[in-house]
Structure 1
Amino acid sequence: MAMHFEMTVYILRCADGSYYVGSTKQEVEARIWEHNNLPLDSYTARRRPVELVFTESYERITDAISRERQIKGWSRRKKEALIALAYETLPELSRRSHLIS
């Protein structure tokens, strides 16, 4: 019997309006609780409260880590399009970012 592991990639909106991208093997609700409550010296601890605005689940840890890194590299506008599930706009936002650079 194969063991089933699931990783969740998530985006949080912080109190200051910034976004945080992370991934977890635990229940995403528990991870968000940690972001809001544990006394960690971290990006989110200084920007509480945080709110979960997006999740994607992956069976393979390597896929989740790759996706997390990809999203972290995106512009704010592209992250917001993903949060809005406006997948059709993602390629255009990618092209525009290359033209600006």
Structure 2
Amino acid sequence: MKFYYVYMLKCSDDSIYTGMTNSINRRLEEHRMGLNPDCYTFRKRPLHLIYHQEFMQFNQAEYYEKKIKKWSQGEKLALANKDFELLKDLSVCSNKSHSDNYKK
């Protein structure tokens, strides 16, 4: 059975890279070796794996990766640290125009 992985790497500049692969060990080695100079992580090494999640279906992994890529760095770090209360707090929309925050 083939598995798919969504993963996050913390880069040397403290940015977080989110990716998806069907071979996490191979992909991490590719990132660490810097095989592709056009890759986001090429100039941001060393890299540290801070999170990964395994999926049995490609479409589930793809959906999750796209979802996480839209998150703030704080949300990504909360997920990586398994701080689900903080993740919940950070995910609440605080825009003044949001219906939950609109004061009549």
Cross-structure match for 1:64:
61
The one of 27, 51, 58 aligned to 1:31 = 27
**Count of paired positions:** 95
Structure 2: give runs of 5+ residues left out of the alignment.
Answer: 97-104
Superposition CA RMSD, Å: 1.3
SS in 2 for 1:99: coil
TM-score (norm 2): 0.85
TM-score between the two structures when normalised by the length of structure 1 = 0.87
- Look at both structures and tell me which one has the larger radius of gyration over its CA atoms: 2
Determine the C-alpha separation between the residues in 1 that align with 2:90 and 2:5.
24
SS of residue matched to 1:46: coil
Q: If each structure's helix is expressed as a fraction of its own residues, which one has the higher value?
A: 1
> Aligned letter for 1:11?
M
Task: Determine the structure 2 residue equivalent to 1:14.
Answer: 11
Identify unmatched segments of 5+ residues in structure 1.
Answer: none
Q: Which residue of 2 aligns with 1:43?
A: 40
Q: Alignment identity in percent? A: 34
